[in-house]
Amino acid sequence: MQLNMNGMRLGPLPRRKTAVHVFGDFLAYLYRCTRNFITDTHGNGAALWNAVEHNIQFVLSHPNGWEGAQQTKMRRSAVYGGLIPDTNEGKARIRFVTEGEASLHACVLNGLAADVLSVRSDSLFRWTRSDRLIAIQNPSKHGFLIADAGGGTLDISAYAIRGTTPLVMEEIAPPDCIFAGSVFVSRRAREFLEGTSLRQFISFQRLLTMRTEKLKNSRYGTPAALDHITQRFDETTKRLFRDRKDLQFIPFGSPLDKDLAVGIRGGQLKLTGWVLPRLLCYMSSTRNPQE
């Protein structure tokens, strides 16, 4: 499927279309695909679906910090998408879980408890199969942080182990949610390339060795070129990043593409320090739970 990145910018919604409608359309699509899969792949799929259709329990996840107001809109989306009827009984079939709680269960199922109970190092960092960075910090013997760095949000949760048989965990600090996921990293990268993002990060001026306008006055600074470079950044450089001390390169063109004034050589754009705003945002978010 070909996606129109639109320069990593969000376009306006169609007239009379709200976020509730958009989310409802998305839920309807997932619901329809699930129904078709069950009815098409099981021998008695149609009968099975008809038997459970009106008793399906839906579990929807949402960012840390979302409460009644946001959950009410999500229920309205479920009604709009045809998942449930607009009745009290129907709405009772919708359950919610925060991203932090979902990450905790995922980590426990993948061996987190054994790591926290047996390893005495200060922190553990893991990359999941979906390229999501999970930072598990263990500042004390039985306390740890989970940082779920996803596509849209960075969700921080702090827990303490209160028992091991059975496993009992307690949330020991208010969960935090920052809109600093990978999509926002790509948007900031594009803003940086076109010379707009440092207005928001003036305190990092001395940490970035590149000119703030970067590609603004280069032949590679056209909207189409910036879209292409940003897309290549999103597909390659961002996913390969491991150490902020290392130089980063965006491979976007042919060996003939060259503009030394802005750091382009052999079809690659040289970057240094592009990830600092993201990392410092992460550190500021995890500092309070650690304290």
pLDDT at 29: 98
**pLDDT score, position 209:** 39
Calpha distance 209→187 (Å, rounded): 20
pLDDT at 114: 64
The C-alpha atoms of residue 76 and residue 27 are separated, in whole angstroms, by 11
Beta pairing partners, 192: none
Say which residues have a Cβ less than 8 Å from residue 35's Cβ, sequence separation at least 6: 49
End-to-end distance of the chain based on CA atoms, in angstroms? 45
d(CA 158, CA 273): 29
Mean pLDDT by 10 residues, the chain (291 residues): 53 89 97 96 92 95 89 97 96 92 84 59 47 49 75 82 78 81 78 62 40 69 86 84 77 90 88 52 53 57
Tokens standing for 130? Answer: 């979906």
The torsion angles phi and psi of 95, rounded to 5 degrees, stand at -120, 155
Alpha-helix residue ranges (DSSP H) falling in the chain? 19-41, 45-52, 68-80, 88-91, 99-109, 112-118, 182-194, 223-232, 238-240, 276-290
Specify the pTM: 0.65
pLDDT reported for residue 30: 97
| CA atoms of 189 and 7, how far apart (whole Å) | 11
CA gap 83, 56 in Å, rounded: 9
> How confident is the model at residue 198, as a pLDDT?
46
What pLDDT is attached to residue 28? 98
